Chain A
Amino acid sequence: MKNWRTILYHGSRLVLGALFCYAGVVKALDVVAFAGSVANYQLLPYQLNFLVAALLPYVELAAGLLLLLGRQVRPAVVLIAGMNGVFIVALLSVILRGLDIDCGCFRPGGEGHTSAQMALLRDVGIMLLALVTWLGVGRRND
């Protein structure tokens, strides 16, 4: 009983960590393209799109790395859940406004079009992973 819980916790922690590391690295490598993706959401003034594009990948990468390393897992999960909440709100606003854009979640520049609906579904999955990780670490001394 305890065994599969441990496996579940480590599994979700590693998947979540790898996912956010990947997302962070891919976007950090092409900030200008990612700024274009952020601009597509039409939520921020011109210059702030660049600011978000410059900072967000590094926050994703930091949270992902901490999860992979198993250090400061709870704060990292809080951070990921917070970012994910922001993504969900942004995607909902895209769907409500009827914009047809690529979500810009991983690869900037819109190769491979991920619709807002698909991205939203994925983010709900990420939220569940974060919850599982949070509950798993709650029973341990971190």
Chain B
Amino acid sequence: MSKQLKVKTLWRDLRRAFLIALLAAVVGLAVNSQLLWRVFSGQTLNTVPSAVDESVETILPLPVELAEVRELQASTTLFIDARSREAFAEGHLPGARSLPWGEEVAGVGVLQAEVPLETPLIVYCSGYDCTDSFELAERLIAAGYHQVRVFEGGFPEWRDAGLPVEGAQP
């Protein structure tokens, strides 16, 4: 085989490889169009069956009071902030970790990779009218975390009690 011919066939192979990939990608797009539409239009994925085995009976997360939250501050308990990244940046409980509801699929995956399942978690968001923390807590229990509780008063109750806050508070 001459060198020229080799280069020519290599280009042909590359072109064909690209075409195969393109066709396969189109099939993938078609099959997952609904899911992708949801993701790219910014809707949450609640309606999408998750990877969680639904046959396992999910336990509901228990509420936790402000006084107990204060005591747990110094323990190994990890605080999870379910609010938006912006709200988290403005101010959050000391040592809390941001896991916004709406990014929970990726967020829970990252958390699972970094935080052991036996770590006690307390989830909070922006107070009693906010259900994200409860839903996120359910998702975390389904993901295998053994101790997940919800601080229903959330960030406002913590801040209004005059307790220390981390972040760019005005």
A, B from the same assembly? yes
Chain A residues near B103 (CB, 8 Å)? 46
A36 CA / B51 CA spacing, docked (Å): 10
A82 CA / B24 CA spacing, docked (Å): 15
B36: contacting residue among A40, A50, A76, CB under 8 A: A50
Contacts A54-B28, A72-B16, A79-B21 given; does A32 touch B50 at CB 8 Å: yes
Chain A residues near B110 (CB, 8 Å)? 39-40, 42
B130 at the interface (CB under 8 A from A): no
A2 CA / B80 CA spacing, docked (Å): 63
A35 CA / B113 CA spacing, docked (Å): 14
B72 shortest CB reach to chain A, Å: 26
The number of inter-chain residue pairs (CB within 8 angstroms) is: 103
B97 shortest CB reach to chain A, Å: 14
B74 at the interface (CB under 8 A from A): no
A134 CA / B42 CA spacing, docked (Å): 43
B20-A63 in contact (CB<8A): yes
A99 CA / B24 CA spacing, docked (Å): 31
A44 shortest CB reach to chain B, Å: 10
B25-A55 in contact (CB<8A): yes
B106-A46 in contact (CB<8A): yes
Interface flags for B131-164 (1: CB within 8 Å of A; 0: not) read 0000000000000000000000000000000000
B27 at the interface (CB under 8 A from A): yes
A47: contacting residue among B21, B24, B40, B113, CB under 8 A: B40
A110: contacting residue among B29, B31, B112, CB under 8 A: B112
Interface flags for A61-82 (1: CB within 8 Å of B; 0: not) read 1110010000010111011001
Identify 12 new A-B residue pairs, CB closer than 8 A, beyond the known A62-B27, A72-B20, A76-B17.
A28-B28, A32-B35, A40-B113, A46-B103, A59-B20, A62-B21, A75-B14, A78-B14, A79-B17, A79-B21, A101-B113, A110-B113
Which A residues fall within an 8 A CB radius of B?
Answer: 28, 30-33, 35-37, 39-40, 42, 46-47, 49-51, 54-59, 61-63, 66, 72, 74-76, 78-79, 82, 99-102, 108-110
